[in-house]
A = this chain, B = another copy of it.
Amino acid sequence: MKRSVFFISDATGITAEALGKSLLSQFESIEFERITLPYIDTVQKAQQAVERIKKQAEWDGERPIVIDTILNQEVREVISTSGAYMADVFGAFLRPLEVELNKKSSYTVGKAHSIVNDRHYMDRIAAVHFALDNDDGARTTHYENADIILLGVSRCGKTPTCLYLGLQYGICAANYPLTEEDTEELRLPRELVPYRDKLFGLTIDPERLQAIRHERRANSKYSSPRQCEMEVRGVEALYNKENIPWLDSTHHSIEEMAARIMAEANITTHVKKHLSV
């Protein structure tokens, strides 16, 4: 069974997509075709969207599902003529919230992902640049300004996780690749010692690591089963000896790792600083 799902917004569509992803992931046996229509902010664009939805309905032989975050009521009314099943996100939550807060909402389009709070946005962009500048142990001079320093072997997911921590939460995350030399003596690299409280380790299943490295550099020592196994055992031994909190990235997405790292490293002060408007 296949169903088409439209995420429609008068802004980016990111909220509709995120919510839709959560909802649809609960129906594993159904194949969904996902179509995002962002910036549907005029009646004319809404009419074009309706045509698109109707065409899809004919094609599928089933009415599509629309998950929308459209604030403009005129635009929304046009979309609701499409015959699709409509999940009205703002309708479900905004009106009850108006009552609870005893305030009319502003119904202003495109607030969620705009540069509403310049400082918070600038913090996030600065954190992305921080992650880039402090990637792969390239520079350790800025570790003083890091909120967290991720450790791990090459290709265990340090860099994307650091970037995500910056992009999503405005957390300044550096990363330091542990090498064979570092782990052989079971001793923290000298540069890391002053920042012990900021260290967080990543590990990964050696077989998975091997597959990832193989895609990058096939049939090299770097991607050999033996090398991967040895490096991973080495960092895990180091984490345990030095009492560094760590996480296995094998079955976790970067979103999950970021959320877990923040929870476990207890950097809620930063989070609150950054998340509060």
CB atoms of A27 and B128 under 8 A apart: no
Which of A53-61, A85-93, A188-196, A220-228 contacts its partner? A85-93
Q: A100-B65, A263-B38 are in contact. Are A113 and B253 (CB under 8 A)?
A: yes
Q: A246-277 vs B: 1/0 string, CB under 8 Å?
A: 00000111111011101100001001100111
A19 touches which of B93, B107, B164, B262 (Cβ 8 Å): B93
Stretch at the interface among A29-37, A146-154, A235-243: A29-37
Minimal Cβ-Cβ distance residue in B for A251: B115
Does A175 touch B at the CB level, under 8 Å?
Answer: no
A234 to B244, CA, bound (A): 51
User: Are B275 and A34 neighbours in the complex by a CB distance under 8 Å?
Assistant: yes
Q: Bound complex: CA of A109 vs CA of B36, how far in Å? A: 25
Q: Mark A159-180, 1 if CB is under 8 A from B, else 0.
A: 1100110011000000000000
For A211, give the chain B residue with the smallest CB separation: B122
In whole angstroms, how far apart are the Cα atoms of A7 and B135 in the complex? 31
A103 touches B30 (CB 8 A): yes
Q: Which of B11, B69, B255, B276 contacts A34 (CB 8 A)?
A: B276
Report whether A25 and B112 are in contact in the complex, using a CB–CB cutoff of 8 Å.
yes
Contact B38 A259 (CB under 8 A): yes
**Option from B18, B100, B128 in Cβ contact (under 8 Å) with A163:** B128
CB of A250 to closest CB in B, whole Å? 9
A72 contacts chain B at the CB level, 8 A cutoff: no
Contact A30/B275 with A23-B93, A93-B92, A253-B115 known, Cβ cut-off 8 Å: no
Question: Within the assembled complex, what's the spacing in Å between the Cα atoms of A69 and B276?
Answer: 20
Contact A19–B253 (Cβ < 8 Å): no
Write out the residue numbers on chain B whose beta carbons fall within 8 Å of the beta carbon of A259: 11-14, 38-39, 113
Q: Is the CB of A252 within 8 A of B163?
A: no
Beyond the given pairs A12-B260, A21-B113, A26-B107, 10 more chain A to chain B contacts, judged by CB atoms under 8 angstroms and listed by A's residue number, are A11-B256, A19-B19, A26-B94, A31-B277, A32-B277, A113-B255, A113-B259, A128-B160, A129-B159, A132-B135
Shortest Cβ-Cβ A-B pairs, 9 listed: A25-B111, A26-B105, A12-B259, A22-B112, A18-B18, A113-B255, A15-B22, A92-B92, A38-B259
